[in-house]
Each structure stands twice: as C-alpha cells, then as structure tokens.
Structure 1
Amino acid sequence: MGTTAQSDADGDPGGIDVVPAVGTIVTALAMGCLLVPVRQGVDEPTVLGASAFAIIAVVAFLARRHGVLERQQSGLVAAASSALVVILSATAIMLGTSGSIILPEVGWSISLLFGAFVTSFAAAGVAIADYASVSGAGLSRRTGHFLEMVILGLAGLVAMQVASVVVSIPMMVAVGELTEFQWQFVSYLATGLGLGTVAFGYLAVRDYSLSYIDIKAPTLQTVVWMVVGLFLIFGANIAVSVLMTGAGVESAEHSLSETVEQNIGLVVIIIPAMILIVGPFEELLYRNVVQKSLYGTFSRPSAIVVASTVFAVVHVGAYATAGAGEVLASLASVFALSLVLGTIYERTDNLVVPALVHGCYNALLFVPYLLS
C-alpha cells in the first residue's frame, strides 16, 4: 500500500521556484475575484472572510518567493488559507451571493465568487505541492494528469449517452415507443456499456492487462470494510446535511429522485440496477481506473482527493436543474461520498468493496419509496 507517486522533487531543482510563482498568480486571481464584489458593496461576512484569507494566501506565496518564509511554512499557510477561501466562497454561493459581473462585449454574466472558489481550490493544490517540494515540471505533470482524468471522466458521460442511443434505437424498432420502465432499463444498460467501454478502452490504450482490475474474493476483512463503509457514507451524508441546514443552505434534488417521485414503481428496476450496474461500473472507472492511475503521479491521499474532484465534476449534470448554490451543496455531498469510497478502495485494493458499498448505499436511498 505504499505510495507509488514519482519523486516530488522530480530531479529539477532549478524549476522549484516556478511553483510559488504559479501560486502567487493563482491566489492573486482569487483575491481579485473576491475584492471586486467587496468594492461593489457586497458585505456578506463569508465574502469578507474569504477576501481576508485570499490576501493571506497571496502574502504567503510572496514571502516564499522572496525568502521571508521557508517552503513548508509558506506552503502550510497558503494551503490552509486557500482551503478556507474555498469553504467560505462556496458558502457564500450556496447562500445566494454570486458577485456577478457582466462582460460588456458579449453580455455574459460571470460569478466572481465561483471564480474565487475554483482558483482557490487550485491554489490549495499548488500550496500543497510547494510544501512537498514539487518542482515546476512535477506540477505541470500533475496538472496534465488531472486534466486527463477529467476528460476521461467526462468521456464516460458521453459514452453513456451514445450507448443509450445505440441500445434504444433497435428496441424502438422492435417494440415501438418505449415505456418509462423500458427507458429506465435502457438507461442502466447504457451506464454499464458506456462506463465499461471507456474504462476498458483506456486500459487498452495504456497497454494495461486485465490484471490491472482489482477484483478479489471478499474476505472477512473486506466484509468489515463494506459495513464500515456504509456507516461512514451515511455518517458523512448526515454531517454534510447538518452543516448545510445549520448554514441555511438547501441542496438540489437528484434528477432520478424527481423521476421516482412521479413513478414510484420504477424503484423495482432502480434498486437492483444500483447494486449490479451503477456501483460496479462507476467504481470501475472512477476508482480502479482514475484513482489508481493517479497513484503513479500523486501520493495516495492526494490521488483520493483528485479522483473525488473528478467524480464531483462529472455529477454536475445530475443536479443541473437547480440553482448554483443548491448544485454546489449537492456536489459537496458527492465529494464526501467519493472520499469515503476512495479511502475504502485505497485501503483494500479491491474494487469489489467500494462497488458494493456504493451500490448498496444508492439502493438504500430508494428503499423508502418502495415501502411507501
């Protein structure tokens, strides 16, 4: 279970100063995104707090560049400050503050707080890299790998849509217009085909054998992890919900929940599909392929966080009908769920465990509909 990431220093001592330079630029962007709405009169405490921490992050990177602070000192301060900016800016968005500006030439409205959220998330990553003595070349490689995994994750979504068309057309030719039950069947079949195709396609492109897939017979230890995993996921979900409720934030409802509310009978298909298709194939792609691939570039704890970020990004569409704040609140729960699943996979190196935990968790969410 040792870390398999490449050396943090990357054998490029001359490039190490590139990292605080990048950090300075990114944190300055975050600071600018926050100070503009403050100058416009936004006095929301979360925005003011985020602005203060953004300034601290910029100062920390500048102090590192000019030798006032040691690498680990500045990295720790910049990472903590940027993380607080992420939390506070996200909270402000969820409470309904956007700090938007209109681009005069095209008329687009851009949320500066969302810009601060994204850039501060990136700044926290850069600060951690600097703390770990990652060079400029190492930072570039890690950024490229992250973007590659985002593209791979999004490819899974596209593949599911393509598979849905491929599966539904012959069915409609055979039986005519599909019922809601049949469309649900098509959806889950497409999920397995789409995600499976992308996962196995990536392994083929990278010339990995099937042994890359971590499928092992469950042992007593893995059964314990399954039980613990379910408790952790429900616990994390409850904790996030309590925090959101305490802050007066509402989360978005998953599009599937809205569908079930209109046709409760669909749970007969949904519950087994969650266990047999959604859990296994999502974990195959996002854990066994995305997260495991990241082990070669990031430390294992970092790989879990990066893979969870990818997992949250690809779930944006599932909550897209709600407002930005509600979507962000729901993605916080998805991110927490993914952190638990990623940790379980890292601890067991067995795809079966997170696949069953994920599938059973999703299925249990729909059991109340079955009992109603």
Structure 2
Amino acid sequence: MGGAAALTALGVMAAFASIVVIDPLFGTVEAEWTLLGELLNNYIVQPGFGLVAACYIWWRDDYNPLERIQVPSFEGVAWIGLGVIGYELAVRAVTPILPLIGLSHSAHGDTTAKWRVFFDHPEIIVPGLVVMFVIMAPMEEALYRGVVHDVLEPALGSLGRVLVGGFLFGGMHLFFSGGLGSLLLTSIFGVLLAAGYERTNNLVVPIMAHAGYWLIFTSF
C-alpha cells in the first residue's frame, strides 16, 4: 500500500507543477478562444496525473493500463451509469448532512454542468468532448485506476483495492477542493470508479463515468 500512497503523493505534486506550467499555456488558448480556454482551466491538474502515469508505465515496461481500453460490455455500460448517477445521488444525500457534523464541501472546478455550456455554445461541443473524454479523464484514470489500482493488487484483495484506491483518490482532492467533506464525497466517487474497473478490467469504464459526471453534473 505504501507504493500506492507514494504514487498518489507524486500525483499531487505533479498536479501542482502542472498548474504552474500549464496555466500560461491555457491562458494563451483562452486569449485566442475564450470558451475553450475557460473549459481547459477546469482541468489544469490532469496533465500532472498523466505524467506520473506515463513515468510509471515507462518504468514498469511490462505493464500498460492503456491495453485495458476496450469497448464496454453490457455490464461495463451499467457500471458507467452507476458511477455517474450513483455519485450524484450520494452527493445529494450526503451534502445536507455535512453541516450537521461540522463539515463543509466546495467544488474545485466550474459549478456549471458542461452540457449547459455546450447547449449555449454548440461550437465548442466537439473540442470540449475531446478535452474531457479523450484527454483529461484518461490522464486522471490512467493514474488512479490504471496505476494505483495495479500497485494495490499484490497486497490487497478485490474489496481492499476498491476501498483503499477510492480513499486515495479522495485524499488527493483534499489538496484541490479542500476539507473533510470533499474527502468523503470524492472517496465515494473513487470507490464507484474503482469498483467498475475492478469488475470489468476495462479502463474505459471509469474514464467514461468520470468524464460523464463532468458533462452531466457540476464539478465535485
């Protein structure tokens, strides 16, 4: 488990480095195309996650989670839906309880669902979907499902990988959205994503669920 925690910590550090390096680039894009730049600014940490995942894959040499990208089965599609809808239901159920136990929750990204942005600005639909589904969600999931999950495999059984992997995913969000409320909620999302990946062994499942949540609901 120490290796998985170390990779999560490296992901956090790389994400902060990504903010420093990528922000000026995204600012340049925003100067040329405001809507696309604003969209990109919601996903400024994901390149750092992708870098750590790529370094791990290069170091391992015999393992590449991208080989687990497949067309989802019927069960995979069901897990995608469960990840998106299940997490939103959890957010709605847990959020009103947080103040009662002295916790709060704040989003770390845009609070407008992306489908609303696309509806108002159809010219950004194609690049926006590519950014979310093809670039940013795969970078994050390659690290937290493809890599961290793999590192946990020798030490833990199926349930342990799902729970610990989900908690590590939630712990990462402490540094970006902050607070124990964020840790709780994003850990729930991480567990759902990890469970879908564990059941299907298909990286497309958590990628689609992750980006699907970005698309349909507001940022967590």
TM over 0.5: yes
What is the aligned counterpart of 1:328 among 169, 180, 184? 180
* Cα distance change, pair 207–234 in 1 and its aligned pair in 2 (3 A): same
Q: Which amino acid aligns with 1:252?
A: H
Which residue of structure 2 aligns with residue 338 of structure 1? 190
Which residue of structure 2 aligns with residue 233 of structure 1? 87
Which residue of structure 2 aligns with residue 85 of structure 1? none
* Cα distance change, pair 210–180 in 1 and its aligned pair in 2 (3 A): same
Q: Which runs of 4+ in 1 moved over 6 A?
A: 170-180, 264-271
| TM-score normalised according to structure 1 size | 0.48
* Cα distance change, pair 177–159 in 1 and its aligned pair in 2 (3 A): farther
Q: Which amino acid aligns with 2:72?
A: P
* Cα distance change, pair 295–164 in 1 and its aligned pair in 2 (3 A): same
How many Å separate the matches in 2 of 1:256 and 1:170?
18
Kindly report the root-mean-square deviation, in angstroms, between the aligned alpha carbons of the 2 structures: 3.6
What is the aligned counterpart of 1:251 among 104, 117, 120? 104
Instruction: Report the Cα offset of residue 183 of structure 1.
Output: 6.1
Identity %: 26
Which residue of structure 1 aligns with residue 201 of structure 2? 349
Which residue of structure 2 aligns with residue 160 of structure 1? 15
How many Å separate the matches in 1 of 2:65 and 2:134?
21
Instruction: Report the Cα offset of residue 340 of structure 1.
Output: 1.1
* Cα distance change, pair 204–237 in 1 and its aligned pair in 2 (3 A): same
Give ranges in structure 2 of 5+ residues lacking alignment: none
Q: Which amino acid aligns with 1:313?
A: G
How many Å separate the matches in 2 of 1:243 and 1:311?
22
Give ranges in structure 1 of 5+ residues lacking alignment: 1-144, 321-326, 368-372
Deviations 1:119-166 (A, max 9, x none): xxxxxxxxxxxxxxxxxxxxxxxxxx33x3222123223323434444
Q: Which amino acid aligns with 2:208?
A: L
Q: Which amino acid aligns with 1:348?
A: T
Deviations 1:334-367 (A, max 9, x none): 1111111111111111010111111111222239
What is the aligned counterpart of 1:290 among 127, 133, 148? 148
| TM-score normalised according to structure 2 size | 0.76
Which residue of structure 2 aligns with residue 277 of structure 1? 135
How many Å separate the matches in 2 of 1:333 and 1:174?
32
Contact 1:255 1:318 in 2 (8 A): yes
